[in-house]
Amino acid sequence: MPIDTAIAPGDPPPQGTSAQSSQNALLPEESANLAPEEQFLQVTVNGDLPLLLPGANLVEIMKLTINEVVPMFEMAPWVMGIYNWRGDMLWVADLGHFLGFVPWYHQAKATTRHTVVVIKPPYSATQPSADQQPMVGLVVSTVEAMVTYPTTALQPLPNQMSSLSAAQIGPDLLPFLQGCCPTSSGQPRLVLDGTAVLAAMAQP
């Protein structure tokens, strides 16, 4: 996935030949039988822990140098500072540190250039925009790709986390997991609740 580009999950596909051919290949009755799907952005934190962010929370992916983020004092330790994003103040947070892992600047792979995923609460027609949580830029280790799963693929976390090490599922991460999506490799992908992360970050 290209960096520094806006994401609009749910937008119609590009009007290219391949997209049109794919759509035309589906008969109406076949389309009706397809299971609903949901998009996720696969990212890694703490160096190599993969997480899935729901597409409904995604706004943009960008690269920022450390000098573009203005530090703020007397804030939570995972708050890296603020960034002038399209004329607005965007809080930038270390997602891994927030989830209980080693702070970004203590990691061996830390650089002076950050990969930032801007997230927002899902759109709600019943909730006034003034009451919704503000957008936040999450610093992650890497952005891998957009992936798609059927909505029925999301499963609760198993009681016995045999395939996931205890170091991956820490007490600070667990409350922010929606569940997991199974993969062919047998290593489930953890699905992060972006809305819950935003709400917790907004707490004083």
pLDDT at 58: 95
Count of structural domains within the chain: 1
Total count of residues recorded for the chain: 204
pLDDT in tens, the chain (204 residues): 444 445 544 444 334 433 333 333 444 444 345 568 899 999 999 888 899 999 999 999 999 998 999 999 899 999 999 999 988 999 999 999 999 998 988 876 667 789 999 999 887 655 655 556 789 999 999 999 999 999 888 888 776 554 555 456 778 898 999 988 887 776 778 999 999 999 999 887
Instruction: Count Cα atoms within 13 angstroms, Cβ side, for 103.
Output: 8
Q: In this predicted model, what pLDDT tens digit does every residue of 160-176 receive, in sequence order?
A: 554 555 456 778 898 99
Q: In this predicted model, what pLDDT tens digit does every residue of 116-147 receive, in sequence order?
A: 999 998 876 556 555 567 899 999 999 999 99
- CATH number, domain at 75? 2.40.50.180
Q: What is the DSSP letter of 201?
A: H
Q: Is the entire prediction scored with pTM above 0.85?
A: no
Q: Which domain holds residue 188?
A: 37-201
Instruction: Report the amino acid identity of residue 175.
Output: P
pLDDT at 168: 66
Assign 3-class secondary structure to the chain: CCCCEECCCCCCCCCCHHHHHHHHCCCHHHHHHCCCEEEEEEEEECCCEEEEEEHHHEEEEEEEEHHHCECCCCCCCCEEEEEEECCEEEEEEEHHHHCCCCCHHHCCCCCCEEEEEEECCCCCCCCCHHHCCCCEEEEECEEEEEEEEEHHHCECCCCCCCCCCCCCCCCCCHHHEEEEECCCCCCCEEEECHHHHHHHHCCC
The answer to whether 87 and 97 have CB atoms below 8 angstroms apart is no
pLDDT at 127: 60
Cα–Cα dist 176/139, whole Å = 16
pLDDT at 79: 96
Residue 10 in any domain: the answer is: no
pLDDT at 56: 92
Percent of the chain, pLDDT > 90? Answer: 45
Residue 13 in any domain: the answer is: no
Residue 164 tokens read as 């996931």
Residue 24 in any domain: the answer is: no
Per DSSP, what are the bridge partners of residue 43?
51, 143
Residue 47 in any domain: the answer is: yes
Residue 143 in any domain: the answer is: yes
Residue 3 in any domain: the answer is: no
Q: In this predicted model, what pLDDT tens digit does every residue of 172-187 receive, in sequence order?
A: 898 999 988 887 776 7
Among 41, 19, 20, which residue's Cα sits nearest to residue 181?
A: 41
Cα–Cα dist 97/79, whole Å = 9
Residue 29 in any domain: the answer is: no
